[in-house]
Amino acid sequence: MCSDITIRVDNIGKCFQMYRKPHERLLQSIFRGKKTYYKDFWAIRDISFNVNRGETVGIVGRNGSGKTTLLQLICGTLAATKGSCKVNGRVAALLALGAGFNPEYSGEENIHLYASLLGLSKQEISKRYSSICEFADIGEFISQPVKKYSSGMYMRLAFSVAVHVEPHILIIDEALAVGDEAFQRKCYARLEKLKEDGMTLLFVSHSASSIINLCDRALLLEKGKLLASGQPKSIISAYHKLLFAPASKVEHVIQEIQKSLNLDESQDIKNKHNQRIKLPKQKAYYIEGMQSKSVVYYESKGAEISKPCITTPEGSKVNVLCKGDRYNYSYKVTFKQDCLRVRFGMLIKTITGIEVGGFATSSIHNPIDAIQTGSQYHVNFSFICRLNPGVYFLNAGAKGVFDSEETYLHRIIDAIMIRVMPEEEQKSTGIVDFEIKTQVQDLQKNCLVDDITQ
């Protein structure tokens, strides 16, 4: 194998025998060759690619696409049914929680066990022991049996050992960085240092930001096959389209991805000086299947909100946004009876429910005094997207006086779902910093009744 290639996967496949009932395994061993009691299931099939020395490659795909199976074949913990995989160099792998650990052993004993499995001698382990403990930072638990550890402590210790053996190839399934933000930064800093020293990194992650910020290239798996390979932003975009596609349109989306992305291992995304090429800025787009599944409708009390959506200034409907661009969040409100002191509002929340920010069309002391039955209003919030990459949900609401009390005339919780695309070089922290401009238009009178910027 060429010295510049650390991993060569050639037409590899893994087939599992699926039995309906446990006793059929025994019957199969008795009637071997005469009768078949199992069904073949190809977890991965006909996958080929190379990973060069010093390259970082991310693997993405929907659940069940074969990501973990592929990593296990590369590490040698599974035997391939067909094809081959050749690895050139020392491999450290984090494939499962506690892999390589004995739960009855203490953390100290498991450091020696795991490091020896990764190829270090006793002298090398002793030399690096204090550094491993300091990096893992689990304190007095280092002398406790690891069966008492939390999942975070497990991974902190395993990650620390893996990076301190100074592997030629580091393979990680999901848990690229664990613990609090400070520890995550320490993990990424260590990976950056190892990459500078020529380490090859291959990892599976659902974090779009990690794939884009760390990877030179990304692979997209679907139903056990390599669907696309290429520049991380393009692969992540294709992955999201596939992830949210309705079941009836998955095959159509797959065909679109195959047409738009070149499955070419020679795709070069670096210049002659081995520097990342600055790629054109991506544009916002709409994924039909990416709909909020947590929508809650308040009881209508004189008003009804409909057609909430995000659009570009040109009017194109979108739900995958680019940070720094301007968008409009709008909805229509139809009044079924006379309402007083009306205000309209919006709210943005994170996937965990944290309220990022919101805005109302009028202050509590200056609402729209009266709206008559049958009136329709178009409410529009124009804002520059300052949200950091991630998934967010938007509420829509109309407040006013109903039966002599101020209440929600109508409200929709998690009305729409949006995703903000990762940046290639994200420097900001936190969640959001954005500007909002609000307009409310009376459709009957064709005039603006509110126009505020904040």
Please state, in angstroms and rounded to a whole number, the distance separating the CA atoms of residues 339 and 343: 10
Reply yes or no on whether the pLDDT at 279 is more than 70. no
Tokens encoding 7: 């991993």
Where exactly does CATH 2.70.50.60 map onto the chain?
Answer: 296-453
Residues 376-430 pLDDT 10s: 999 999 998 988 888 899 999 999 988 788 899 999 999 999 999 877 655 555 6
pLDDT of residue 86: 92
pLDDT exceeds cutoff 80 at 180: no
Q: Which fold has domain 296-453?
A: Coagulation Factor XIII; Chain A, domain 1 (2.70.50)
E-strand stretches of 35-90? 38-52, 56-61, 82-87
Between CA 194 and CA 203 the distance in angstroms is 15
**Backbone dihedral angles phi then psi of residue 278, each to the nearest 5 degrees:** -75, 110
Predicted TM-score (pTM) of this structure: 0.72
Q: Roughly what angle, to the nearest 10 degrees, separates helices 122-136 and 107-117?
A: 130
194 Cα distance to chain centroid: 24
* Residue 259: predicted pLDDT: 80
The whole-number average pLDDT for the span 39-66 is: 92
pLDDT digits (tens, 9 = 90+) for 98-134: 567 888 999 999 999 988 888 888 999 999 999 999 9
Tell me the Ramachandran region of residue 54: left when phi exceeds 0, alpha when psi lies from -120 to 50, beta otherwise. Answer: left
Q: According to the model, what pLDDT value does residue 152 have?
A: 80
Q: How far apart are CA 25 and CA 250, in angstroms?
A: 35
The mean of the pLDDT values for the chain is 84
- 280 has pLDDT over 60: no
pLDDT at 321 over 90: yes
Residue 268 has pLDDT above 70, yes or no: no
Share of the chain above pLDDT 70, in %: 87
What are 399's two structure tokens? 């407040």
Of the ranges 146-155, 204-213, 330-339, 365-374, the best mean pLDDT one: 330-339
How many of the other CB atoms lie within 10 Å of CB of 69? 22
Lateral strand order in the sheet of 303-311:
317-318, 303-311, 326-335, 376-384, 436-442, 447-453
Highest average pLDDT, of 24-28, 413-417, 427-431, 447-451, comes from 413-417
Across the range 422-439, mean pLDDT stands at 62
Q: Give the H or E element holding residue 1.
A: none
Q: Per-residue pLDDT for 271 more than 50?
A: no
> Is 201's pLDDT higher than 70?
yes
Q: How confident is the model at residue 198 (pLDDT cuts 50, 70, 90)?
A: confident
Give mean pLDDT, residues 428-449: 71
Sign of CA dihedral 207, 209, 215, 216: positive
pLDDT of amino acid 30 = 81
Domain 5-89+168-260 in CATH 3.40.50.300? The answer is yes
Percent of the chain with pLDDT over 90: 38
Task: Say which residue, 314 or 20, is predicted with more confidence.
Answer: 314
pLDDT of residue 97: 56
pLDDT at 274 (0 to 100): 45
Residue 141, token pair as written in the block? 């638990």
Task: Give the least confident one: 214-228, 229-243, 269-283, 350-364.
Answer: 269-283
